[in-house]
Amino acid sequence: MDLGQHYLEDAIAELKKYKSFADRAVAQVGDEEFFRQLDPESNSIALVMKHIAGNQRSRWTDFLTTDGEKADRDRDSEFEKSGADTRESIMARWEAGWRALFEALLPLTGEDLRETVAIRGEPHTVVQAINRQMTHYASHVGQIVFLAKHLAGERWKTLSIPRGRSRDYDVSKGGAPYKT
């Protein structure tokens, strides 16, 4: 396999994992918790999701041909709850943002990685642009998971290996799970 194609497939797989973590975390909180801010300067899960969605729409729409910071983006509003914001409307924006991302990435080839795109007028190779967004989304998905876990409390169901159960998930040299 060509290295560029391998990179793209891996990046897409990782981004799908980030989305899955956030989706499974958000599913564990109610509407009140979805909008709750821990303090006046913090963001709620809803606002973090609104921001990611706004960023994705801007970055991935016409990805190879226009600046990744679209003129019609109002970034500041992504961090403010408006009267029109409902869980459903934010979830719809979230899905649309991820759809834009995957629709931009899936058709790319290894050759496209050498192209240059702009983000806020600054040139980036396609690899740099993808990496920039992957780290950005990973940090915000971490915030979503942290907030959801905190707000769900005792209702929380782990998204990965449960605490104290790591040995159950160790893999032996033969490829079978290690069981004690």
Q: Which of 60, 46, 22 is nearest to 139 (CA)?
A: 22
Is residue 180, in this structure, part of any structural domain at all?
Answer: no
Is residue 78, in this structure, part of any structural domain at all?
Answer: yes
The SS3 assignment for 27 reads coil
> Does residue 167 register a pLDDT over 80?
no
Residue 111: CA count within 13 A, CB half-sphere? 1
- Number of Cβ within 10 Å of residue 52's Cβ equals 26
The mean predicted confidence, pLDDT, of the chain is 93
Q: Which of 13, 46, 25 is nearest to 158 (CA)?
A: 25
Is residue 124, in this structure, part of any structural domain at all?
Answer: yes
> Does residue 13 register a pLDDT over 60?
yes
With 0.85 as the threshold, say if the pTM is over it. yes
Is residue 147, in this structure, part of any structural domain at all?
Answer: yes
Each residue's pLDDT tens digit, 118-141: 999 999 999 999 999 999 999 999
* Angle (CA) 26 97 74, round 5°: 105
Each residue's pLDDT tens digit, 61-86: 999 999 999 999 999 999 999 999 99
Is residue 7, in this structure, part of any structural domain at all?
Answer: yes
Q: Which amino acid is at 54?
A: G
How confident is the model at residue 165, as a pLDDT? 79
Is residue 141, in this structure, part of any structural domain at all?
Answer: yes
Q: Which of 21, 16, 108, 93 is nearest to 55 (CA)?
A: 93
CATH code of 140's domain:
1.20.120.450
DSSP string, 37-88: -SSTTSPPHHHHHHHHHHHHHHHHTTTTTS-SS-TT--GGGGGS--TT--HH
Query: With bands split at pLDDT 50, 70 and 90, how would you rate the model's confidence at 173?
Result: low
Is residue 176, in this structure, part of any structural domain at all?
Answer: no
Mean pLDDT throughout 35-54? 97
How confident is the model at residue 76, as a pLDDT? 95
What domain range includes position 21?
A: 3-169
Task: Name residues whose C-beta falls within 8 Å of residue 49's C-beta, 6 or more positions apart in sequence.
Answer: 22, 26, 90, 91, 93, 94, 144
* Number of domains comprising the chain: 1
How confident is the model at residue 179, as a pLDDT? 56
Per-residue tokens: 78: 């992504």
